[in-house]
Chain A
C-alpha cells in the first residue's frame, strides 16, 4: 500500500540494509521504530539523506585499502570498523537541515557547538529509545562530559536527578539558549521559578541577592550543606553582611553549640549563631509580604 515516495525511500534504504541488517551489533534497523522511520510520513529521510550517497563506500575495497567510510560517519569515536567520525560541524549540518528551529534555534555559536559537540555525541538516533529523551536516562549521557556535576548529584543535598525525577534538560537547553550556562530561560531566576514560583514575589520586603541570582546562595547540582547552599549560615550571611547586630561577632566554633566546644554570651550557646543561625529569626530569606516583615522576621 506504500505510495511511490515511500517505495523509493525503502529502495534507497535497501541499498544499505542488504548489508547492515539484523546481524549488526548496533540496532541499525531499529530506526524504523523511531520518528525517523515512519514510512508514511513524507518528511522521513532515507539512509542517504543523513549518511550521504557514499559511492566510495558502496564501491567496496578498491586497491586493497579496505572499504572506504560512508560520506558521513556520526559520533565522536572511531567505529568498530575503524572509520573516523566526520567533522562535528559537518555532522551537525546534516541534522540541522531538518531540525534548525525551535529548541535548536540558538545552536550556532552555542557552547556545545563551539566545543565541537555533534548531535550524535548525545543522541542515539537508531535506537528505539534515545536516552537523551528519557528523563531517567538522560543525566548519565550529560555526565559523560560533565563529571563535576555528576559528583555533586551524589552529595547529601541534591535535586532529584539521581532519583530519575528530573532531567538536566528541565533546567538547561543543551542546544543553546539566550540564558547563562545554557539555561532554558533568559535568566537563572526565571529558570528556578519554573518550579519554585513561590520564591518569585514580588515581595513587599525584598532581599537583593535573591532578586538578582539564586546561585548567589545556592548551588543547584548538589551540596554538603542542606538545602543546596554554598555555605553554612552565619558564614554564608557574613559574605554579604557584617554591619548589623550579631554578624558583628566572630562566632568561631560557637556555631556548633556546647558540643562543638564553643559558646557565646557566657556559658550558653547563642541562638543567633547555632542551627539556622541568622535564619532562626530572619526566616523570610527569599522575601516577606508582611507589613511587619521589613527585616524578614515575618
Chain B
C-alpha cells in the first residue's frame, strides 16, 4: 500500500462535498506526490510559455513543469517544440540558460549534441557505443505541444484530450486576454516564491475581491458587474467584465499609473486548472506561470505583455502600470499573496475550509461575487484524487 493509499480513505471520509475541503490536502506530502502524477504529469495541458518569449526563429526558453525541467524551442520552420531539458545519455540538465537563441544544444558532460527539434546529432566515441545503440532512441524526450492565441501549452500525456476540449468554455476569455491574435510583446517578469501549496495559491474566490482589497474602496474603484464562466469538467473559471475607469478621488498623489489609457475595455480574470492565472486588468496583460516547489511552496513568474501594435507612449504606460498594479509588490495582488500564506498557515489544524456564498443556488444564478464557482474545480479534484469514494469502496 502506498503512502497515498493509506491516507486516501481518511481524507475521503472528511471530504463529504466539494464545498467542504479537508485542509490536510494542502500540506500532506503523499497527497502532493499523487497530485503531481495526476494533474501535472497526467492528461492536463499546461501553459508554459508565450510566443512573445520566443520572439525570433531559433529562440528557446527553459522552464519547469512542476518538478520536471522543460526546454521549449522555436525551430527555423516556426514550429514550437517542447522537451524534457535533460540529456538523453546520463541525464545532465541540457540547457541552463533561461532563454536564448540556439539551433543546437550540447551537453557539457560528454558533448552529446541535439538539434532544436530534439534529434540526437552526434556524440564523441560513437564507434565504441553499445551494440543496441540507435540514434533515433536517443532524441530528447518530447512533450505534446498545442497553442492558443500564442500561449504555448504542453502535456506529457499522449492520451490527453485536445487543447480545445481541455479549455472548453474558457477559450474565448483566454483569447480576450491575449488580445485575440496573441501578437504580444514581452515586457518582463516579476518572480516570487509564496509559502503556500499550489492549490491554495490558485483557489482565490470571486467573493473576496471587494472585501479584501481595500485599495478598490479607497480608490473608488469597484468593478462593474461581470459575467461568470465555469468550464466543465475541469473547473476553469473566468470572470469577464468591463474596465471601469478610475475616478480621481484625491487619495493618490499621482493616480496616472492606475488610469486606463487603452481602447480595449475588456477586463478578464481566468483561472486555468491546475495552476495558471491569466488576467487582463486595465492596460495590463499578465500570465502567471506557476509551479509547485514541494507541498508548501509555489513559485510564480508574473509575466507581463504588451501588444506588438502598441505606440511607444502606450507601451510606456503599460510598463509603468504593470510595474505597480499586480505582482508580488503590486497595489492589489499583494493582499492576495498575504492570504495564500495565511491560508497555508492553518492547514495542519485538522479542520475544513468551507465555500458558502452562493453554494446551493442553481448554477445559472451564480454571480460574479459568489464563491460557488470554486466548487466546480473542487468537484473535479475530488473525483480525480479518488476522494469522492469512501474507504473500502
Whether both chains belong to one complex is answered with: no
Binding site for B on A (CB under 8 A): none
Binding site for A on B (CB under 8 A): none
